[in-house]
Amino acid sequence: MQRIGSYAKGVWIEAGAGARPIADAATGEVIAEAGNDALDVAGMVAYGREVGGPALRALDFHDRARMLKALALHLNKNKQALYDLSFTTGATQKDHAFDIDGGIGTLFVFASKGRREMPEGHVLTDGAWEPLGKTGAFGGQHVYTPRLGVAFHINAFNFPVWGMLEKVAPALLAGVPSIVKPATATAHVTELCVRLMLEAGVLPEGALQLVTGGVGKGLSVLGPQDAVTFTGSAATAAVVADGLPRGVPFTAEQDSLNSSILGPDITVESPEFDIAVKEILREMTTKAGQKCTAIRRVLVPQPLLQPLSERLAAQLGKVVVGDPRKDGVRMGSVVSLSQRRDVLEKAGIIAQEAELVFGGQDGFSPEGDLEKGAFVAPHLFVCSDPDGAEKIHETEAFGPVSTLMPYRDLGHACALANRGEGSLVASLITHSGDVAREVVAGIGAWHGRVYINNRDSAAEATGHGAPMPHLTHGGPGRAGGGEELGGIRAVKHYMQRVAVQGSPDILGAITGRFIPGATKSDGDTHPFQLRFNELQIGRTLTTEAREITLDDIEHFAHFTGDTFYAHMDEEAAKRNPFFPGRVAHGYLILSFAAGLFVEPNEGPVLANTGLDNLRFLKPVSPGDSIRVHLTVMDRKSRTEEYGEVRWHADVRNQDDEPVAEYELLTMVAK
């Protein structure tokens, strides 16, 4: 029997006293044990804070993003070992795609977001700087800095790999060490994944630790700089939250009575009907229904209830349930016999208010030993009085169990969806924009995500149950009360937003960005002749001045076809409240600005990739002249060969008044 380890303070600690058994879900054979009462969880927290935190924070965002990519590549290379072991949890090869490939995909996405959306520095800016005085010598800037504690992730059994990686990736990217505590039933898969991650050799010491088995009193040492993220049942979430010291940030993803609404525009003949059938079927059978996002309640226009239930029953009848290692098996088992007891007990509660129209354990014969393997037959219920019912809106049977219920109109459908009192996701199958608008307004406030699918999006839609690979999902109310932590928001969850105030030079030193008003430096070499690594933040070029004549405006107008009256007709322009008379085109100012700052010879600047935050601030009349101050604002390495340089372009007239301001993006060779 395998003894599952915990990785604590830099060493592996084998299962020992108090270890809990782990059984193969499909055969019942005990294959491993995990846990050790002697594990020093409090010491692990201190080790994470004192060793892992400083080591991670010494790296910048891009270093940490590269680290995530290296982890993803290493796991990808070794994923067969994870697949092999995952079969013991009752999961099929298709289920592995969600957990294992999905988890690795999440690492890749955070690695890429870290490089593209985060700076090559240690703090993340939030919004633009705001001058607080008349001259801009003092101002404020919001920034995010990493928490100085550990992130303690407690996970549910259903996603031993993805469940860990979706939390660890943003925490590591933020610079916060993680301690992972998987559910015991599938801790052996998480343990293998952690071993592989450590084997990749890129994680600083203390950045990742693993607790298998119980945590004892370990959580009592956590404080306000730490964070606990919990995924599991609402009942356990309440126990964990109760045991935490005051002030420890706690987020939970827990029971969720997700719904799917078939729009009133759908008929049995419309392609959306087939899409709905496919979605419901997939949600009931993937991971044997053990997905926090699975469809538990299907809300159907009354006339579609009968045809939908018949179609689903016919399709479910073809699903072969059994040992996921056997050929032809489409749905595996739930994770354990005790989990099966729980699912069947909850299905019994639902049966008090709904009629079983397909499936159930009576006469069920899976491809495997029904005594020893945790096989559950699909259960399809119909509840004809969803208004009078209570239990179907609050009982989560965490298995292949769904209930169909009729609705009268869209308002009624929304009210029923909201009876879940907060769900991770609702899906809407409709081809009508009006229906979509009404439903989103009606249920958005109770949901973490609303997934809408129809004939136009079906080929690319990711499915009711699949958050985008980089989304850590959240939902209000029963689902945990958490916000949707999409993309970089998940990274910010492990950071503190703080307002810093000071001079442009001081704020520039903190953020690594040029702040207008900060000291600039010039030099003899044109900055377009300097390579990426030679371009210092604040390096500036001040151009010659160029007069803009009426002829220039005429020429530009006829050349481009932009003969808008404000450029062509003195009297009409004067009637416009913004212009003193005929004025230069904004695009002419931009074009002349480029002509002023360009260095025409072949050099390190490879391409102009865009403009951000363009503002035309003051009209330019014929006879005015313009000059440009072009300053290196920010740099981001992209590849070994080149990086992105963001320039601040400040275009001024002969009286030194700003007429245009923008940020120019270029790719520059290294």
Which residue among 33, 166, 253, 484 is the active-site one? Answer: 253
Is the CB of 240 or the CB of 426 nearer to ligand NAP? 240
Q: Between residues 239 and 614, which has the closer beta carbon with respect to ligand NAP?
A: 239
Name the minimum Å distance from CB 198 to ligand NAP: 20
Nearer to ligand NAP, 35 or 516 (CB): 35
The rounded distance, in Å, linking the Cα atoms of 381 and 298 is 10
Nearest to 384 by CA among 316, 266, 302, 314: 302
Q: Does 232 bind ligand NAP (CB under 6 A)?
A: yes
Residues 448-487 that bind ligand NAP (CB under 6 A): 479-480
Look up residue 329 and give its two tokens: 């098996």
Beta-carbon contacts of residue 113 (< 8 Å; ≥ 6 apart) = 65, 173, 470, 487, 488, 491
What ranges in 58-186 are assigned the alpha helix state H? Answer: 61-77, 79-86, 93-96, 102-117, 162-174
Crossing angle for the helix pair 61-77 and 187-199, to the nearest 10 degrees:
120
Binding-site size, ligand NAP (CB under 6 A): 27
Residue listed under structure tokens 């210092």: 536
Instruction: Decide if residue 420 touches ligand NAP (CB under 6 A).
Output: no
Instruction: Select from 128, 239, 441, 607 the one that contacts ligand NAP (CB under 6 A).
Output: 239
- When binding is defined by CB under 6 A, the residue of 236, 432, 542, 637 that contacts ligand NAP is 236
Distance separating the N- and C-terminal Cα atoms of the chain: 54
| In the complex, least distance from residue 484 CB atom to ligand NAP, rounded to whole angstroms | 12
**CA 180: distance to chain centroid?**
19
Instruction: Work out how close the CB of 403 gets to ligand NAP at its nearest, in angstroms, rounded to a whole number.
Output: 16
CB of 79 to ligand NAP, least distance (A): 21
Residues 240-259 that bind ligand NAP (CB under 6 A): 240, 253-256
Output phi, psi for 163, to 5 deg.
-55, -35
CA distance 322 to 151: 38
| Cβ atoms of 211 and 134 closer than 8 Å | no
106 binds ligand NAP (CB under 6 A): no
- The answer to whether 414 is a known catalytic residue is no
Residues in contact with ligand NAP, shown as a per-residue x/- string from 149 to 168 under the rule CB under 6 A:
-----xxxxx----------
User: Smaller CB distance to ligand NAP: residue 255 or 650?
Assistant: 255
For residues 245 and 220, is the Cβ–Cβ distance under 8 A?
A: yes
Among 86, 231, 309, 472, binds ligand NAP (CB under 6 A): 231
234 versus 545: smaller Cβ distance to ligand NAP: 234
Q: How many Å apart are CA 18 and CA 21, to the nearest integer? A: 10
Q: Smaller CB distance to ligand NAP: residue 14 or 199? A: 14
Over the window 277 to 296, marking each residue x when it contacts ligand NAP by CB under 6 A and - when it does not, the resulting string is: ---------------x----
Please answer whether residues 532 and 604 qualify as being in contact, where contact means their C-beta atoms are separated by less than 8 angstroms: yes
For residues 31 and 192, give the distance between their C-alpha atoms in angstroms, rounded to a whole number: 14
371 is catalytic: no
CB of 176 to ligand NAP, least distance (A): 19
Among 51, 215, 300, 530, the residue binding ligand NAP under the rule CB under 6 A is 215
Which of 100, 98, 106 shows the shortest CA–CA distance to 83?
Answer: 100
CB-based burial label for 589 (10 Å; 0-12, 13-18, 19+): buried
**Is 220 an interacting residue with respect to ligand NAP (CB under 6 A)?**
no
Identity of the residue, 76 or 236, whose beta carbon is nearer to ligand NAP in the bound complex: 236
HEC-encoded secondary structure of 597-644: HCCCCCCCEEEEEEEEEEEECCCCCCCCEEEEEEEEEEEEECCCCEEE
Judged by DSSP in three states, 590 sits in helix
User: For residue 666, which of 630, 629, 628, 615 has the smallest C-alpha distance?
Assistant: 630
**What residues from 478 to 537 belong to the interface with ligand NAP (CB under 6 A)?**
479-480
Q: Is 396 in the site for ligand NAP (CB under 6 A)?
A: yes
Please identify, using beta-carbon distances, which residue of 245 and 303 lies nearer to ligand NAP. 245
Nearest residue to the partner ligand NAP, using Cβ: 232
> Which is nearer to ligand NAP, 290 or 430 (by Cβ)?
290
Of the pair 336, 631, the CB lying nearest ligand NAP is at: 336
Beta strands in 342-463 (DSSP E): 355-359, 379-382, 401-407, 423-429, 447-453
**Shortest Å distance, C-beta 234 to ligand NAP:** 7
> To the nearest whole angstrom, how small is the minimum distance from the Cβ of residue 495 to ligand NAP?
22
Site for ligand NAP in 49-88 (CB under 6 A): none
Least distance (Å) between residue 182 CB and ligand NAP: 6
Taken in order 384, 386, 390, 394, is the CA torsion positive or negative? Answer: positive
Active-site option among 193, 292, 383, 414: 292
**Region near ligand NAP per CB under 6 A, out of 4-12, 109-117, 228-236, 523-531:** 228-236
> Which is it for the CA torsion 92, 230, 279, 398, positive or negative?
positive
Binding mask 167-206 for ligand NAP (x = CB under 6 A): --------------xxxxx---------------------
Q: How far is the CB of 237 from ligand NAP (least distance, A)?
A: 7
What CA–CA distance (Å, rounded) separates 197 from 192?
A: 9
- Give the β-pairing of 423-429 and 259-262: parallel
Active site residues: 253, 292
Residues at the site binding ligand NAP, with contacts judged by CB under 6 A:
154-158, 181-185, 215, 231-233, 236, 239-240, 253-256, 292, 396, 398, 424, 479-480
